[in-house]
């Protein structure tokens, strides 16, 4: 059974990274996940009735609310991005740098931070990567410093809020961590991680940041409507404020984001009725934003949940829980064990699957531990899930997306190049971030 489960995970991840067409049928993230689900049911590795009961009745670790939060936030982020706000800011940042590469490096770091905090790491990568390509195309400067500061900042700051990463949502929803409680605990480690990334990457690329560059801006940002842009920004800020207050008003995160999802959909539909009458509805702001949603992640996450659920009912999982519980004498041993295992496992089975697996461990009745240490472990796993995306270029959705965009622009960053930056950056960043968490807790 374990072999079948490992095969299932690697089958999905392989075709996520290398999608193909077999007799005109695409085999990609979505279809490979569906194939594996059928495979698990067909060979009675999981019974259909058990699967149905689990998907309907299991409340503690179920993908329904997690996916609802993720897709609501994704639509709101994509819709806000489509107003052109980040497009126009990017051009202003290049102008504001006055053609100085050091200033531009700082501005890209700050801009990537702002976009990630207000939207998500995926939106940051989708927005900034094409802009950096445009910068390279018209100035011919070395864009590696800007690509790496964008990528590492996006993945690091995706742990800033519960809602900005599926891994965060999985852990927080399973263990009933409220929004402000999470933010209050993570703010210091996040600042340390972000600053660490910046200092290390600056020192790695400082030779490439000494010269000025010439750049002709003949690019006009696509602004649909300034009123629409301002409306989206205002409601985005209201949503974040409401999420921060959710601990005090006792409203669940999924209820808040669902409420704001309907507001944003209403805004987009009204915008079409009032301003886009001459545009085919298929090309409207609402439909374009809807189509851009990462629909393939739906079967992907569901199938990962099923695979981990099957694994949880094996003796190997029980032994793994006992292994974590045994031979622990100090919090330092917990730090080393959780740090190593979570980062290692995330880079074998992906950061989402690692989050699902460790969530099962933490709610397992055989996992007996002091509440203070448990709190530390929960946030350590969140850190690992987000920083894992900086460890290998392909084992997270953000990394896969980044690599795909660059390949489409004929920019090739080899795995060896990425590995060198990782060795220099992520290990130290992870260490100081865990240390910051230890200090704050």
Q: Which of the two residues, 105 and 322, has the higher pLDDT score?
A: 105
pLDDT tier for residue 59 given thresholds of 50, 70 and 90? low
* Per-residue pLDDT, 215: 63
Q: What does DSSP assign to residue 212?
A: B
pLDDT at res. 52: 73
**Confidence band (pLDDT; 50, 70, 90) for 93?**
confident
Count of other CB atoms within 10 angstroms of residue 169: 26
- Give the mean pLDDT of 192-214: 87
Domain range for 416 is: 2-440
Q: How far apart are CA 177 and CA 148, in angstroms?
A: 31
* Number of domains present in the structure of the chain: 1
User: What is d(CA 395, CA 60) in angstroms, rounded to the nearest whole number?
Assistant: 26
Length of the chain equals: 441
Mean pLDDT (whole number) for 363-370: 80
Q: How would DSSP label each residue in 323-392?
A: HHHTT--SHHHHHHHHHHHHHHHHHHH-HHHHHHHHHHHHH-TT----HHHHHHHHHHHHHHHHHGGGTS
Asked if residues 351 and 395 have their Cβ atoms less than 8 Å apart, the reply is yes
Q: How many CA atoms lie within 13 A of 153 on its CB side?
A: 29
Quote the CA–CA distance of 253 and 203 in Å, as a whole number.
39
The mean per-residue pLDDT over the stretch 416-439 comes to 83
SS (H, E, C) 98-123: CCEHHHHHHHHHHHHHHHHHHCCHHH
Q: What is the pLDDT of residue 86?
A: 76
Q: Name the range with the highest mean pLDDT among 46-55, 111-120, 256-265.
A: 256-265
pLDDT of 394 higher than 60? no
Name, in order, each residue with C-beta under 8 angstroms of 112's C-beta and a sequence gap of 6 or more. Answer: 124, 128, 149, 150, 153, 154, 157
Nearest to 58 by CA among 173, 164, 142: 173
218-228 average pLDDT score: 74
| pLDDT over threshold 60, residue 77 | yes
349-372 core/surface letters (b: 16 or more CB in 10 A; e: else): bbbbbbbbbbbbbbebeeeeeeee
Alpha-carbon distance of 121 to 154, in angstroms, equals 5
Q: What are the distances in angstroms from CA 375 to CA 120, 296, 309, 382, 432? A: 25, 33, 23, 11, 18
Q: Tell me what percent of the residues of the chain surpass a pLDDT of 70.
A: 89
What pLDDT sits at residue 122? 76
- Res. 416: pLDDT tops 70: yes
CB 315 within 8 Å of CB 50: no
**Averaged over 76-87, what is the pLDDT?**
84
Q: How far, in Å, CA of 90 to CA of 215, rounded?
A: 14
Alpha carbons 309 and 298: distance in angstroms, whole number: 17
Q: Which range is least confidently modeled, 122-131, 151-160, 432-441?
A: 122-131
Give which of 372, 366, 352, 287 is closest to 321, Cα–Cα: 366
Q: Which residues contact 395 (CB under 8 A, 6 or more apart)?
A: 13, 346, 347, 348, 350, 351, 388, 389
CA separation (Å) from 29 to 60, 357, 388? 26, 20, 19
For range 111-126, the mean pLDDT: 82
Using one digit for the tens of pLDDT, what is the confidence trace for 158-193?
888 887 777 888 888 888 888 888 988 999 999 999
Q: What is the mean pLDDT of residues 224-240?
A: 89
Average pLDDT over the chain, rounded to an integer? 82
- pLDDT, one tens digit per residue, over 2-43 is 888 888 988 988 887 788 888 888 998 899 999 999 998 888
User: What pLDDT shows up at residue 396?
Assistant: 61
Nearest to 245 by CA among 173, 188, 183, 171: 183
């Amino acid at each position: 059974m374990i072999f079948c489960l490992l095969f299932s995970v690697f089958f999905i991840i392989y075709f996520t990274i290398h999608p193909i067409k077999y007799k005109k049928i695409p085999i990609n993230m979505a279809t490979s996940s569906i194939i594996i689900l059928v495979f698990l049911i067909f060979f009675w590795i999981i019974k259909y009735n058990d699967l149905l009961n689990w998907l309907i009745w299991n409340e503690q670790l179920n993908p329904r609310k997690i996916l609802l939060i993720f897709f609501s936030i994704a639509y709101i982020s994509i819709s806000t991005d489509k107003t052109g706000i980040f497009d126009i800011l990017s051009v202003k940042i290049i102008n504001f740098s006055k053609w100085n590469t050091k200033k531009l490096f700082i501005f890209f770091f700050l801009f990537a931070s702002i976009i990630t905090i207000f939207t998500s790491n995926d939106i940051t990568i989708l927005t900034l990567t094409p802009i950096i390509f445009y910068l390279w195309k018209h100035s011919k400067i070395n864009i590696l410093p800007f690509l790496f500061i964008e990528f590492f900042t996006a993945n690091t700051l995706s742990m800033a809020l519960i809602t900005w990463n599926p891994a965060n949502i999985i852990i927080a929803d399973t263990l009933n961590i409220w929004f402000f409680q999470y933010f209050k605990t993570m703010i210091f480690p996040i600042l340390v991680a972000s600053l660490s990334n910046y200092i290390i990457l600056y020192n790695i690329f400082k030779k490439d940041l000494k010269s000025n560059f010439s750049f002709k801006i003949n690019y006009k940002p696509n602004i649909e409507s300034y009123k629409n842009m301002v409306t989206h920004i205002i409601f985005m800020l209201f949503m974040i404020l409401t999420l921060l207050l959710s601990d005090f008003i006792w409203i669940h995160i999924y209820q808040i984001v669902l409420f704001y999802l309907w507001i944003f959909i209403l805004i987009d539909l009204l915008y079409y009725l009032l301003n886009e009458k001459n545009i085919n509805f298929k090309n409207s702001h609402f439909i374009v934003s809807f189509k851009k949603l990462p629909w393939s992640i739906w079967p992907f996450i569901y199938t990962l949940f099923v695979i981990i659920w099957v694994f949880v009912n094996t003796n190997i999982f029980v032994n793994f829980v006992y292994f974590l519980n045994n031979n622990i004498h100090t919090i330092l041993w917990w730090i080393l064990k959780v740090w190593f295992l979570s980062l290692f496992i995330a880079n074998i089975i992906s950061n989402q699957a690692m989050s699902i697996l460790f969530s099962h461990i933490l709610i397992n009745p055989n996992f007996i531990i002091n509440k203070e240490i448990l709190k530390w472990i929960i946030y350590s796993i969140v850190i690992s899930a987000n920083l894992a995306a900086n460890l290998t270029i392909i084992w997270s959705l953000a990394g896969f997306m980044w690599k795909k965009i660059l390949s489409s622009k004929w920019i090739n960053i080899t795995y060896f190049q990425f590995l060198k930056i990782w060795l220099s950056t992520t290990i130290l960043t992870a260490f100081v971030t865990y240390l910051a968490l230890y200090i704050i807790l």
